[in-house]
Chain A
Amino acid sequence: MVDTSVVLSGWRLDNPVVPASGTFGYGSEFKDFYDLDVLGTFSFKGTTREPRYGNPTPRIAECTAGMINAVGLQNPGIDAVIYDELPRLKTFFHKKVIANISGFSVDEYAYCCERIDREEQVGIIEVNISCPNVRHGGMSFGTSPESAAEVTRAVKAVTTKPVYMKLSPNVSDIVAIARACVEAGADGLCLINTVLGMRIDVRRRRAVVANTMGGFSGPAVFPLAVRMVYQAAKACAVPVIGCGGVQSARDVIEMMMAGATAVEVGAANLVNPYACREIVEALPAEMERLGIERLSDIIGSAHNDEW
């Protein structure tokens, strides 16, 4: 029997497979496909203080080995999440969840994190400073070490649960941002969010999505994500949740070797609603093929550059 469990800041997950925020709603849509308790946990939809409609449609564009989304943080707001979504979630998901929080000001991040910190269903707070689809918020906090640190400090000051900062790949120096978050008190990191991208409808000679640009995700970004997880995990002594283009049990293992303690799966859920369950089921056999007995043993095992 192989051991697939991992530990994130003292929280033991049965396995490292975690549906990524924005691809799994608050769980309701996926519970009709399978029993969500097979998951390590999942990260719920990026939540803000007020309800948000998001961007105009079209919000989605097909890409080679991936997709662009410009949803723009549509969510029902923190009150509805606390009073409607979490009680509903409790009826079909019996583990703690990762709360993904976004915002448009440092105060908003702090307010929402303080509110969600009181919910016993929440295991980790994942602070999204990397949404590329909103102006004056999201990613604008995650592209400079100073503002990333400012949000981290503000959130840490009002919370008791582990705080993981979700980082953007749209930066020139991921290590500088990662270090700034950790120095400001982050308990962990999650990366990468989507890569800012664009498609053009060549017949209409204009952008495919109404927001012009959007977040590119899917298997095409996997090598980029592995590289950034490797760099951040090597530079920082906190757990890293790896995210970006993961589609298979083998991808999960590769991401863990790059330094991830747990692995988020995003766009794959949208193409195959069973993607995460299939990855969980495939993990033990893949571990046996690779001679891995305890999955947690391989975290960062590629950090030795000598070969």
Chain B
Amino acid sequence: MKKDIYQIRSNEPLTASVWRMTLAGDTQAITAPGQFVNLAIDGLFLRRPISVCDCEPDRLTLIYKVVGEGTERMSRMKAGDELDLLTGLGNGFSIGADLRRPLLVGGGVGVPPLYLLAKRLLAAGLPVQAVLGFNTAAECFYEAEFRALGCGVTVATVDGSAGVKGFVTTAIAHRNLDFDYFYACGPLPMLRALCDAVPQEGQLSFEERMGCGFGGCMGCTCRTKNGPKRICKEGPVLEKGEIVW
């Protein structure tokens, strides 16, 4: 965990409501894909947690959806502006030694943290399949970026305007995707449907309203089969086998 000032390098919309912000600064505290940063926004009391989409030693990419006042203010920030970030928060995705054929499953703004994970899996020499689910074609983003990394990508949209018509679970069945383990991030109903639909084990990243983002306030606790866990500290990534729906 590290608190530092970062400088915005770019901030641009990818769709009508999803934005990508790149920041310059020291990212050494970020140790795993699936971790998040918590950023201070002038005029708002609590920090806003955003998952890390990509990270290099001196550069950070965040993708966020404008859903409230905090993210709305973020979308108005400009290159050159400075942001106070806590980085390296949370327990991210881990890559098991016996992993062979991972499947990434992202829904909407749950897609971004899977990007850094895909890079790490590919770097470990593993073939990566990704299923990216959105509501409509207009809401799709990052399909090309995942392909450019070398992932096999299947897009699903609820209205059928792009890729397979239906949910991510429809796409997995439709394409008969072969995988031995999955990694998922997306809306709660998607995560639950996925766990019900596939027998494989996996890791899932959860979201919860947070106070501090580093385990101090107990604001984001959820029940698991291994006792209460803080989404910001022991999470956001939990294993399928421990989840209490």
Contact of B217 among A62, A66, A270, A272 (CB under 8 A): A270
For the complex, is A92 an interface residue (Cβ under 8 Å from B)? no
For the complex, is B243 an interface residue (Cβ under 8 Å from A)? no
* Residues from 109 to 139 in B contacting A, C-beta threshold 8 Å: none
* Residues from 202 to 234 in B contacting A, C-beta threshold 8 Å: 208-212, 214-223, 228, 233
Q: Which of B43-51, B75-83, B149-157, B171-179 contacts A (4 or more CB under 8 A)?
A: B43-51
Q: B220 touching A25 by the CB < 8 A rule?
A: no
Q: Which residues of B contact A (CB under 8 A)?
A: 1, 3, 40, 44-47, 69-70, 86, 208-212, 214-223, 228, 233
Q: Which of A52-60, A144-152, A156-164, A251-259 contacts B (4 or more CB under 8 A)?
A: A52-60
Q: How large is the interface on A (under 10, 10 to 19, 20 to 34, 35 or more residues)?
A: 20 to 34
* Contact residues in A for B220 (Cβ distance below 8 Å): 57, 59-60
Using CB atoms, name the residue of chain A closest to B214.
A29
Least CB distance, B207 to chain A, in whole angstroms: 10
* Distance between Cα atoms of A54 and B222 in the complex (Å): 10
* Distance between Cα atoms of A33 and B29 in the complex (Å): 12
Q: Which residues of A contact B (CB under 8 A)?
A: 22-25, 28-30, 32-33, 45, 53-54, 57-67, 69, 71, 74, 218, 267, 269-274
Q: A69 touching B219 by the CB < 8 A rule?
A: yes
Q: If A60-B209, A66-B45 touch, does A273 touch B214 (CB 8 Å cutoff)?
A: yes
Q: B45 touching A271 by the CB < 8 A rule?
A: yes
Least CB distance, A263 to chain B, in whole angstroms: 19
4 more A-B residue pairs beyond the given contacts A57-B209, A60-B217, with a C-beta to C-beta distance below 8 A: A32-B1, A60-B210, A60-B220, A61-B209
Q: A58 touching B216 by the CB < 8 A rule?
A: no
Contact of B211 among A30, A33, A60, A64 (CB under 8 A): A60
Task: Tell me the total A-B contact number using a CB cutoff of 8 A.
Answer: 92
Q: B212 touching A33 by the CB < 8 A rule?
A: no
Contact of B228 among A62, A64, A65, A74 (CB under 8 A): A74
* Distance between Cα atoms of A69 and B212 in the complex (Å): 11
Using CB atoms, name the residue of chain B closest to A218.
B45
* Contact residues in B for A60 (Cβ distance below 8 Å): 46, 209-211, 217, 219-220
Interface of A is mostly: loop
* Distance between Cα atoms of A2 and B118 in the complex (Å): 56
Q: A25 touching B216 by the CB < 8 A rule?
A: yes
Q: A270 touching B216 by the CB < 8 A rule?
A: yes
* Contact residues in B for A54 (Cβ distance below 8 Å): 218, 221, 228
Q: If A23-B216, A273-B86 touch, does A67 touch B211 (CB 8 Å cutoff)?
A: yes
The CB with the most chain A CB atoms within 10 A, among B1, B212, B222, is that of: B212
* Contact residues in B for A61 (Cβ distance below 8 Å): 209
Q: A22 touching B45 by the CB < 8 A rule?
A: no
* Distance between Cα atoms of A24 and B214 in the complex (Å): 11
* Distance between Cα atoms of A281 and B212 in the complex (Å): 22
* Contact residues in A for B223 (Cβ distance below 8 Å): 53
* Distance between Cα atoms of A61 and B44 in the complex (Å): 12
* Distance between Cα atoms of A84 and B233 in the complex (Å): 19
Q: B3 touching A273 by the CB < 8 A rule?
A: yes
* Contact residues in A for B211 (Cβ distance below 8 Å): 59-60, 67, 69, 270
Q: B215 touching A62 by the CB < 8 A rule?
A: no
